[in-house]
Amino acid sequence: MTHRLDALRRHSLVVADTGDLDAIRRYQPHDATTNPSLILKAFDLTGYQSLIDQELAVVKAEACDHREEHAVDRLSVAMGSEIAKVIPGRVSTEVAARLSFDTQASIHRAHELMELYEQHGVSRDRVLIKLASTWEGIRAAEVLEREGINCNLTLLFSDAQAQACFDAGVFLISPFVGRVSDWYKKDTGRDFTPDTDPGVQFVRGVCQRATQGGYDTVVMGASFRNTGQVLALAGCPRLTIAPPLLEELATTPGTVTPRMLLARGGGPRPSPLTESAFRWRHNQDPMANDKLAEGIRRFDADQESLEARIADRLASF
């Protein structure tokens, strides 16, 4: 009997949206993606406690400035290194959201994360540096890509963000589905079917522009609220899915029909966006403005919560 998760794998590469090693082993994704919110959840997982103590002991011995922030990076990389042992592909690791509007600081932090991964024996071709899709984040990714450090641009809600990432040669982008749908549901008071869902339609459009323009950037649908949204994007190159939805797909019998048949084009591409054009086009999309700003704030709030947990744990050493 075929279940929907296995059927989905025939059309899209499945990525686990979690840092939970047990879930990753169960669902056997190709890649995994993390962020401060997921690391915060992992902080309470039994399987990570000895690793957390080990990393925090190093941080305490180093007596460095901003030690809680440094500890978040060390923990993210240590957990990412464990994940890399059980997946065949890549693990995404996020630059702190508070650096989303600072290109040079983002580049510097990305270099530090890669150095930590190399200390763990994980090569750069197993890692994606995750950055917010601000103008500054995209510029940082452009530099990193030229250095051979591949990036995952997240919190992507507008056509302007997607086009700027294509222009910059970014390895992978994560256009969001659920948060787009949330905004339109609240704004209109309507419920949507999977095919009329604004988030699904947005990601389908991004996929079409990527393939028709002949861009090498990989599109990975993200932020799903239900399996209907996931299945409506079967055929999108990659889909990052949280464990509850992976479980539903893994235990539901059925086939999956690809909803997007993407033919790579070779037509003329638009001129690269200038900073002013990017900011204006993004500004004209109220949903994208609201959700990008909110997403950065939420990730930073989770980072602050994690840093507070780390400070308390360090005090107990």
What are the residue numbers of the active site?
A: 130
For 29-63, b where at least 16 C-beta lie within 10 A, e where not — what string?
Answer: bebbbbbbbbbbebbebeebeebbeebbeebeeee
* Measured distance CA(26)–CA(211) in Å, rounded: 32
Q: Which of 35, 239, 256 is nearest to 129 (CA)?
A: 35
Six-digit token string for 98: 């508070």
The 3-state secondary structure of the chain reads: CCEHHHHHHCCCEEEECCCCHHHHHHHCCCEEECCHHHHHHHCCCHHHHHHHHHHHHHHHHHCCCCHHHHHHHHHHHHHHHHHHCCCCCCEEEECCHHHCCCHHHHHHHHHHHHHHHHHCCCCHHHEEEEEECCHHHHHHHHHHHHCCCCEEEEEECCHHHHHHHHHHCCCEEEEECHHHHHHHHHHHCCCCCCCCCHHHHHHHHHHHHHHHCCCCCEEEEECCCCHHHHHHCECECEEEECHHHHHHHHHCECCCCCCCCCCCCCCCCCCCCCHHHHHHHHHCCHHHHHHHHHHHHHHHHHHHHHHHHHHHHHHCC
User: How many other CB atoms are there within 10 angstroms of residue 274's CB atom?
Assistant: 11
Q: Which of 261, 262, 281 is nearest to 167 (CA)?
A: 281
